[in-house]
A and B are shown apart, each in its own frame.
Chain A
Amino acid sequence: MNENNTLANDNVTTFLTFILGKEIFATNVKKVLTILEMRPITKVPNSPEYMRGVINLRGNVLPVIDMRIKFGMSPTQFTDNTCIIVLNVTIEDEELQLGILVDAVDKVLELKESEIEESPSIGTKYKVEFIQGMYKLEDGFIMLLNMDLIFNSEVIILAKENESVAIDE
């Protein structure tokens, strides 16, 4: 029971990493319910673009959010790797399930507290309050996201008026 030993250690948090465009993001696995393969999404008319629509998850209706749009990228193009991560998030004190559309899931990652760096207050193109921390890779960062906050806001997660960011629409 190797997993048991490492997980019992309080300082280790487990994340699921996923890919949007060229960037890697991560969510605490505690928030994740399951990963679904792509399936037809029913678009709900007159809703914001990032709300891609609804799918059937075991007889219930699950809203699906396009994370690429939420992060200021172009809408997700479906490939074999595209999938839906089902999350449990708390919105306005109410727990609810929703799916996020991502380009690909990457891996399950265990991080010690000491390995997680605080997110810099400037210099990232995403608003700091949505980022719990960063994990440094050889050639970049993984951004650890605060999922509850992200879905509590209707805005796009780009830091406002940041000229260095080109939104590829």
Chain B
Amino acid sequence: MDKFRDKFIEEASDLINELEKVLLELESNKENPDLIQQIFRVMHSLKGGSAMFGFNKIDKFTHHLENIYDLIRNNKLQMTDEILDITLAAVDHLRNLAQEKDDSETKNNIQHDLLLVKIVDIINENVAGLEENKTIQPIVVASNKELSTYYISFKPYHNIFNYGTNPLYLIDELCDLGETKIFPRYDNLPDLDDLDEKKCFFYWDIFLATNQGINAISEVFIFADDQCKLKVHKISEINLLEEISFIGIIEETINNQKDINIDQLLLLTHELEKVFEKEQAKTEKQTTTTSHEAGISSIRVSSEKLDNLINWVSELVTIQARLSLFAQETETDGLLPIAEEVEKISRHLRDDVFSIRLIPIENMLTRFQRLVRELSHELNKDVVFKTEGTETELDKNIIEVLADPLMHIIRNSLDHGIESTEERKKLGKPNRSVILLKAFYSGTNVIIQISDDGKGIDPEKIKSQAILKGLISHDADFSKKEALDLLFLPGFSTAEKITKVSGRGVGMDVVKRKIAEIRGEVDIDSILNEGTTITIRLPLTLSIIDGLLVQIGETKFVIPLSSVDKCYEFKHEKLANSVNYLIRTDDHEVAFLNLREMFVIDGTPPETEHVVVVQFGETKIGLSVDNIIGQYQAVLKPLGKLYKKQQSISGATILGDGTVALVLDTNKLISDYAHSEKKIGG
């Protein structure tokens, strides 16, 4: 028996793996009935096998689980994320159960009870819900049109009882599928003297009207396949069981002890269908639209499909990392080159797929050009609109949201920011003023800056305005930055008189809100009489980045490769004894951040440390790490709401071995460093 058990365990783990795979597919494609069907089938096999080999827990557990999917495939229950989560947890649990030697093991019992309760909960909730909906049910489901009629001829072999199969249970299960009309046949019954009670002499003709496919029917007999002669025919697309004439004819045939001939049956149903269809014909709608367009050079694809594609590529990249790791560890001949090839291909695939959704910001700039041109005429100002980095690409969705806020900002600049020609002359500024829109990548962010060379914003004026409006109290002490931030408060506008162009008091707060919607941030900086700069920092939502995987202590970090300049090796004592955290690389002195100290990571650094020099704008700094592991394609995952205060980490990524690495926001590190330097210096 043990041998069989081992065999079952092997088979079960295959089934469980299959289940997991299908479930993950289902996640992105919840409505797919084939997948639900597949899940149901796998569970059914698992249940059958486990019962046979005495894995009672698995048997009972899958039984409940199967009930959920039975409800789903019968459209009585909607597939939800919750169900999916629970099923995935259940899959993990089944795996553990299959490892148990026998049912007396208890270590998985709590998880077992927990999951059972949750599964039963789902079923109960929805059975209750179903009853409320009963009034509309008959119309939706029971329409004749959706039910098909099947003829099933079920002839068990005489020895079917030897396999422990009870044919009546199978028929019972069939009845669960829909409306049935069953004709037991006992023509083969021998005389009482010859009757062997261990043999089955009955056979059945069954008519079933159901909305389930032929697969569902075959599945009922899945374990009795080789114990009977089974014929299943779809005989009609409608429910014939409601046609009295049909039943009458069948009953007559059977009463005459005749066998049902499938050809005649089909002929009969064909006739009946014709009658039925004539009645239906009036209500049938006809929709025919055909149009052919020649020479398609681009196609429209729903963004949902694109999202799916991107998800799959992300999965691929993650699994590829696992493959690479495995190839390196096992050192099997020939595996490494294959893994490298797969890496190359998935990188290309990733770039192409992601680029589908990206469009250069250039696309939205024309309207700003026009805006500046027209408004400056109207306001009698000489303004030129310049752009830099227009090839910077952003997700289409982000660009769509971004257009309005940018429009607002540029309008503000034109109206309030830039002085009139006379004023400029007085201040000795050139006649022609400039509005500059600059876009660039910054690690995992895209930054868009709009600056003008206008009069700038006077923080004192903002403060008095805010006090006037009752937004802040009289004696509030505000730094320049805090004062400028007041501009983002709802109902704040500094324009002394309300103009047509702007200054309706729905200014920067709307900008801020809009940008927050796409998880971006706005920052404002201004120097009086020199100009104002508004910086918008946007995340790359489609985010797989190339990174450098490094290690400090136990923790692994990813440094975005785009910001990496060079890497150096240093002896630990050299770093430890450096003055003011400065080191000499090639010909330059570079300041470095001791990340181990900054991040308060325990442990002792190795003798040889590495310094990764990263660059942001003009500033270069080194980051000291224990070890450089190598290049890594990181699928960015957000750290989530709980870590929203975390500044120097922009996200996380899952490594090949399943652990989590953190993605460093190098630009933030660098700009923070630059700020602190300024403070010390000035």
Contact = CB atoms under 8 A, between A and B. Distances in A.
A59 B654 contact: yes
B639 A45 contact: no
Given A14-B117, A47-B646, A94-B641, A42 B661 contact: yes
Q: What range describes how many residues of A lie at the interface?
A: 35 or more
Nearest to A8: B124
A96 B640 contact: yes
A63 B649 CA distance: 14
A46 B595 CA distance: 11
Contacts of B606: none
A32 B114 contact: yes
Interface residues of B, number: 46
B114 A61 contact: no
B662 A42 contact: yes
A3 B116 contact: yes
A7 B124 contact: yes
Given A8-B124, A29-B117, A107-B110, A45 B659 contact: no
Interface string B578-592: 000000000000000
Interface in A28-78: 29-30, 32-35, 39-40, 42-47, 51, 53-56, 58-61, 63, 65
Given A56-B659, A61-B660, A35 B114 contact: yes
Contacts of B637: 59-61
Nearest to B93: A34
A35 B111 contact: yes
Given A54-B660, A59-B315, A29 B643 contact: no
A58 B640 contact: no
B86 interface: yes
A105 B114 CA distance: 11
Nearest to A80: B107
Is chain A's binding surface mostly helix, strand, loop or mixed? strand
Contacts of A47: 643, 645-646
A33 B85 contact: yes
A155 interface: no
A108 B639 contact: no
B619 interface: no
B660 A42 contact: yes
A4 interface: yes
Contact of B643 (A16, A44, A107): A44
Given A14-B117, A55-B660, A61 B652 contact: yes
Nearest to A46: B599
A115 interface: no
B114 A29 contact: yes
Contacts of B315: 59
Nearest to A48: B645
Contact of B639 (A4, A32, A44, A65): A44
B495 interface: no
B653 to A, nearest CB: 8
B598 interface: yes
A29 B642 contact: no
A106 interface: yes
Nearest to A35: B111
Given A59-B315, A96-B640, A34 B111 contact: yes
A63 B659 contact: no
A142 interface: no
Contacts of B371: none
Interface string B105-121: 00000110111111011
Contacts of B645: 47
Interface in B72-124: 85-86, 88-89, 92-93, 110-111, 113-118, 120-121, 123-124
Contacts of B600: 45-46
Interface string B135-159: 0000000000000000000000000
Contacts of B640: 61, 63, 96, 98
B502 interface: no
Interface in B637-676: 637-643, 645-649, 652, 654, 658-662
B555 interface: yes
B555 A7 contact: no
Nearest to A36: B92
Contacts of A94: 641
Interface in A91-114: 91-92, 94, 96, 98, 105-108
B106 to A, nearest CB: 11
Contacts of B598: 45-46
B445 interface: no
B318 interface: yes
Contacts of B648: 45-46
A42 B661 CA distance: 7
Contact of B118 (A29, A43, A96): A29
Contacts of A108: 110, 113-114, 117
A35 B556 CA distance: 25
Contacts of A8: 124
A90 to B, nearest CB: 11
Contacts of B93: 34
Given A32-B114, A45-B599, A56 B658 contact: yes
A7 B642 contact: no
Interface string B25-43: 0000000000000000000
A128 B156 CA distance: 67
Contact of A7 (B115, B121, B647): B121
A130 to B, nearest CB: 17
Interface in B550-590: 554-556
Given A33-B89, A47-B646, A16 B114 contact: yes
A54 B639 CA distance: 8
A158 B40 CA distance: 48
B92 A34 contact: yes
Contact of B642 (A33, A34, A56, A98): A98
A8 B599 CA distance: 51
Most B CB atoms within 10 A — which of A29, A43, A45? A45
Contact of B646 (A16, A44, A65): A44
B601 interface: yes
A58 B113 CA distance: 22
Contact of B638 (A33, A39, A61): A61
Given A40-B659, A46-B598, A54-B652, 7 more contacts: A34-B92, A34-B111, A47-B645, A56-B654, A59-B654, A98-B642, A108-B113
Interface of B: 85-86, 88-89, 92-93, 110-111, 113-118, 120-121, 123-124, 315, 318, 554-556, 598-601, 637-643, 645-649, 652, 654, 658-662
7 contacts: A4-B120, A16-B114, A29-B117, A44-B649, A47-B646, A96-B642, A98-B640
Q: Which 8 residue pairs of A and B lie closest in terms of their CB atoms, listed nearest first?
A: A45-B599, A34-B89, A108-B113, A42-B660, A61-B637, A61-B652, A63-B642, A3-B120
